[in-house]
Amino acid sequence: MKPAVMNKFGRTDLEVTSFAFGTAPVGNIFREIDDATSEAMFDHAWEAGVRYFDTAPMYGHGLSELRTGHALRWKNRDDYVLSSKVGRVLHPAPRGSIDFAPWVNAGAFRMEFDYSYDGTMRSFEDSLQRLGLERIDIVFIHDIDVYTRGAEQPEVFRQAMDGCYRALARLRDEKVVKAIGVGVNEWEVCHEALKQRDFDGFLLAGRYTLLEQDALNEFLPLCEERGASVVVGGGFNSGILATGAKPGAKYNYAPAPEEIMTRVAKIEEVCADHDVPLAAAALQFVVAHPAVASFCAGTRTVGQLEHNLAWMNHPIPAEFWTTLKDRGLLRQDAPVPG
């Protein structure tokens, strides 16, 4: 498995690298990253052959898009694929009036959810301005899931299907963008969206991993049937599949429960027997599915990025995957590398 391997994105003529550079960290999530570190990571990813970059207005209240555009501005625009998102409109505001949490020292914009047709068009145009680039290739409708919107999710989903989808379908028809999709934390939301509308792909955070394969039941088969691609973010389940089952390990943004710690410890035993880093197995497993075009990961340092790229390259014997399945640690029907 190589990070620079190109995979077709859905039914489009786009090709994305199997490893994507995620830009939430350069939006200063949880703590600040300076401009020099941000630029160094973009440069290192490019030198390693990464040619797919994902951003969003939400990430750092616009800061991620500003930094992404700065890093890519003088690259040949046909040499990479860029995705961003709609569903929030940013409004300039005094810094002292903005609640930035969980972002730190972010952009001077307050965020407002807006899934209307007009709001989608404004969000898209604003993103182009912040990026300073002539186009965005893929646009995802962002955060219309239960995790983000709670009890109001059904109404938010309806608004997005009526408003965002109509705007994005027009942009696609007019060839302003090449692909449209949904970016959420739940495969069920992606599945319902694909049943209702004509989407090209999805950005799914954390719901198809070494620990979770329920998406194999309905969603991923429908993606294959409809020619839709999936970009998997959060493939380390918020950390535990990178750190292992150590004290304080995170699973889904919270301390990992005991049953998850136990399962990961059992996977780590198989990793040790076959000299396979847990993180390498987690990363390579995801992109083995034919519907998954890319693994999207954000990093805080060049060192973290180098680790991700090395894990993508690490050789994994076929016996490793067989052992996981034999021990009931991986579904029998899960596609594996090889």
Any idea which residues carry the catalytic annotation? Answer: 54, 59, 85
The CA distances from residue 94 to 3, 31, 106, 108, 129, in Å, are 41, 20, 12, 6, 20
Roughly how many angstroms between the first and final C-alpha of the chain, as a whole number?
Answer: 9
Q: Are strands 6-8 and 138-142 parallel, antiparallel or unpaired?
A: unpaired
Q: How far apart are CA 6 and CA 4, in angstroms?
A: 6
What is residue 3's DSSP assignment? Answer: T
The answer to whether 223 and 229 have CB atoms below 8 angstroms apart is yes
Closest by Cα among 39, 81, 88 to 59 = 88
Q: How far apart are CA 280 and CA 282, in angstroms?
A: 5
256: Cβ contacts below 8 Å, ≥ 6 apart: 240, 245, 249, 250, 264
Q: Where are the alpha helices (DSSP H) in 163-257?
A: 164-173, 187-196, 219-226, 240-243
Q: How far apart are CA 18 and CA 5, in angstroms?
A: 6
Q: How far apart are CA 26 and CA 42, in angstroms?
A: 10
Q: How far apart are CA 60 and CA 224, in angstroms?
A: 34
The CA distances from residue 314 to 47, 49, 67, 140, 288, in Å, are 18, 16, 30, 31, 14
The answer to whether 64 and 26 have CB atoms below 8 angstroms apart is yes
